[in-house]
Amino acid sequence: MINRLEVEIIRETQRATQGQSIRGRITLRSSSIIPKIWLELSDQSTIPSHTSKRAITLSSRGTTVWSYNTKALLRGLYTLGPLTVTATDPFGFFKFSKTFGSESSLLIYPYTPEITYFNTPSSNLPGEGHFRKRSHNITPNIFGLRDYVSGDAFNRIHWPSTARKGRTIVKEFEIDPSSEIWLLLDLDKTHHVGVNVNSTEEVSAQICAGLARYFIQSNRSVGLAFFDSAMKIDKPEKGNSHFTRILESLALAKAMGTVTMENLILDQSPKFGRHSTVIAITPSTTTQWITELRSLNNRGVQITAITLSGDSFGSSISSDNVHKSLEQNGIPYYNIAAGTDLTNELSRKIPRKFKLTSGD
């Protein structure tokens, strides 16, 4: 009943980002003159929401094509295939099955919000003046504006000021005082709450992905550190290939760790210097990690926190004490609640009330 059946399986998607489509095509051809009635197809898969079963009938020497289009809902590593075809006799007494193809892997990256601006406190750190130097090259940091002089590149012109003043004004740039961006991702299972896409774990990974892309597009070196089943560190580098490595790490990251945020900061602190910016992403409702983050600033490290309000994701514990402590310590922070538009929230400027003073 399954003899003289040919199956061609094409997996069009090997990697995808949350929200994108996973596509493929399965073609079945019968070389038998006898119709094949009620064939059950089972495309084995671990991908959530993938429609893996279908019943078909093949006419004499017939062909049918099953094209699937599954939305990638959750990041992670999944499998597709093999395909099992099962035929039954007209009375349902016997079943005959045959497997086609092999198992293939599919990696789903986290959704990456397109951040257009992110507040890093480069102008608030004491001692920064020792590192602020003008640069003849274009960098992500504008030092100021001045009148055009012969030899200035066309792409240095600041058009709004030029139009307003009626003469050519150009931008001056400074050497980047914080060449390394470190993303510290808290994966301590104690504080993560929510389910699937509506979880602090999923949103934390998306935040890291968005920040990594933003800073790498700004020609910054970006590093990532977290602890789930083991310590994972992507050392600071630039470029699209490094961004892909970060996405791969985030795709596999799980909130199953036993290392607290304060211990993660403490463990990684020797890597940070006065040319580093540390961004801590955490749903923790304790304040011990804030003390460790503040100690980095006392050494001249630039710091920013991104908190996730667990109570908006279903936790019974409020994060109000965390926000109060951050404000008391003058640490700039973003607070992310469930359903927040990450692009808009992370692209806004933090009020000037947050000013860090080293050595307090």
pLDDT in tens, 286-300: 999 999 999 999 999
The b/e string for 37-46 (b: 16+ C-beta within 10 A; e otherwise) is eebebebbbe
pLDDT at 152: 82
Q: Count H helices, E strands: the chain?
A: 7, 20
Other CB atoms within 10 Å distance of the CB of residue 93: 7
DSSP3 helix / strand / coil % (the chain, rounded to 5): 25, 35, 40
Give domain limits for the chain: 5-109, 134-174, 177-346
Question: Given a cut of 70, is residue 307 above it in pLDDT?
Answer: yes
pLDDT in tens, 228-238: 999 999 999 99
pLDDT in tens, 51-77: 788 889 999 999 999 999 999 999 999
Residue 248's φ and ψ, nearest 5 degrees, are -65, -40
Please state, rounded to an integer, the average pLDDT across all residues of the chain. 88
Burial degree of 30 (CB within 10 A; 0-12, 13-18, 19+):
buried
Closest-CA residue to 259 (of 183, 182, 184, 189): 189
Say how many Å lie between the first and final Cα of the chain, rounded.
Answer: 81
pLDDT in tens, 311-358: 999 999 999 999 999 999 999 999 999 999 999 999 998 765 554 443
Helix (H, G, I), strand (E, B) or coil at 295: helix
CATH architecture assigned to 177-346: 3-Layer(aba) Sandwich (3.40)
130 pLDDT tier (thresholds 50, 70, 90): very low
Backbone Cα Rg of the chain: 27
pLDDT at 91: 67
Average pLDDT over residues 93-115: 93
Q: Which amino acid is at 188?
A: D
Question: Given a cut of 50, is residue 2 above it in pLDDT?
Answer: yes
127 pLDDT tier (thresholds 50, 70, 90): very low
What pTM value is reported for the model?
A: 0.81
Topology of 5-109 in CATH? Immunoglobulin-like (2.60.40)
Residue 329: which residues within 8 A CB-CB, separation 6 or more? Answer: 290, 294
Residue 221's φ and ψ, nearest 5 degrees, are -85, 130
